[in-house]
Amino acid sequence: METESTASPPSPPPPTTTSASTEPKLPVCILVLGMAGSGKTTFIQRINAYLHGEQTPPYIVNLDPAVHELPYPCNVDIRDTVNYKQVMKQYRLGPNGAIVTSLNLFSMTIDQLLSILNKNQTKYNYFLFDTPGQIEVFTWSASGTIITETLGATYPTIVVYIMDTPRSSNPITFMSNMLYAVSILYKYRLPFIIVLNKTDIIHHRFALEWMNDFELFQSAIEQEHSYSTDLCRSLSLVLDEFYSNLRCVGFSSMTGDGCKEFFDSINDACHEYEHVYKVEYNKWQEKKLKRENDKHEKDLKRLKEDLNTEQSIISEKRIRYDDIHNDEETDDDDDDDEDKDQDDFDQEDESFKRYLSKHVSNTTAMDT
């Protein structure tokens, strides 16, 4: 699975510690998601270059089995574990089905990926994950959940949602993108950052204004004479709550604008991970453990009760068996006695007959 040979060896990062403790900080997992063509791969390439410049090169994992070429050196590549084209042939699948199956096959080796990451956790500050262009393949598949939840349980994990800013300048496309972002946020509940990419083409100011000022977005929608205008208007009300707690960063993967702001947001999101997600996760783990212990105790109690019931049934059966056995023995004794009596009677009968025949023969002799 590991293809460490392709990546340049990292120079050791400066020893980082949490502000509260002297324990070494765990690397941050940055999971990059986004619609096809939003710029995920270019974004990772830019972040990789930036981090190399900061003398803290990241550890990169590619989770896209269908990608042709990667513009960055990658440490773990799904393509080394699963051959996407072979999967298509072997299972007679189309391209999307093959991507899902490849990811499912890869997620079966998640423990190996985790042990590789664990081995490298002291050498790196960041683990970057590139995901397939077909976003739903990752976000709504079992494998995506397994990978994300495993990472989230072990390392500070941040979901980064890349948005194509020029395409989102249309309010309806903007709304659709935001709804997708909300669905991912509520699915994983991990700290979340929206990267408004391609700001070299169009500045992301309009998006920030739409998010901050509801009226402004409403008037932008009014200008779109579409059948979905009414729906968008109502949905924007729902999204207002989501916008209030959202981290949003303008970024250009082409020029590298926004790198510093992005890493400021990552630090903020790590804080949220430690103080919100991790706390909730630990609580959930405790509850789960308690549920399992309760179930175990219940099963044990039931087993003991079953054993006691069985024991009493066995002893009852034994008593009944003994009773029957004793009765049989008594019957045998009676039979023996009867046999003896019969023998005695036969003997007496025999001797009486002998006496009689002797007496008769004596009488006949006297008469003659």
Long-range pairs, 64-67, Cβ under 8 A, ≥24: 64/99, 64/130, 64/131, 64/132, 64/133, 65/98, 65/99, 65/102, 65/103, 65/106, 65/132, 66/95, 66/98, 66/99, 66/102, 66/132, 66/133, 67/41, 67/130, 67/132
Residue choice 38, 56, 62, 265 for contact with ligand GTP (CB under 6 A):
38
At its nearest, how many Å lie between ligand GTP and the CB of residue 268?
22
Query: Within 13 Å of residue 306, how many CA atoms lie on the same side as its CB?
Result: 6
**3-class secondary structure, 42:** helix
Site residue total, ligand GTP (CB under 6 A): 16
At its nearest, how many Å lie between ligand GTP and the CB of residue 165?
8
At its nearest, how many Å lie between ligand GTP and the CB of residue 15?
33
Question: What tokens appear for 95 in the block?
Answer: 């391209």
Residue choice 16, 18, 36, 219 for contact with ligand GTP (CB under 6 A):
36
Residue choice 252, 265, 266, 277 for contact with ligand GTP (CB under 6 A):
252
The answer to the question of residue 250 lying near ligand GTP (CB under 6 A) is no
CA distances (Å), 147 to each of 43, 76, 280, in order? 21, 14, 19
Nearer to ligand GTP, 137 or 266 (CB): 137
Does an H or E element contain 263, and which? helix 259-272
The answer to the question of residue 324 lying near ligand GTP (CB under 6 A) is no
Number of other CB atoms surrounding residue 242 within 10 Å: 16
The answer to the question of residue 96 lying near ligand GTP (CB under 6 A) is no
The answer to the question of residue 272 lying near ligand GTP (CB under 6 A) is no
- The span of 198-206, 215-223, 316-324, 339-347 binding ligand GTP (CB under 6 A) equals 198-206
Residue choice 42, 109, 120, 121 for contact with ligand GTP (CB under 6 A):
42
Residue choice 133, 144, 156, 250 for contact with ligand GTP (CB under 6 A):
133
CA distance 202 to 130: 24
Nearer to ligand GTP, 75 or 165 (CB): 165
Query: Which residues are near ligand GTP by CB under 6 A?
Result: 34, 36-42, 133, 197-198, 200-201, 252-254
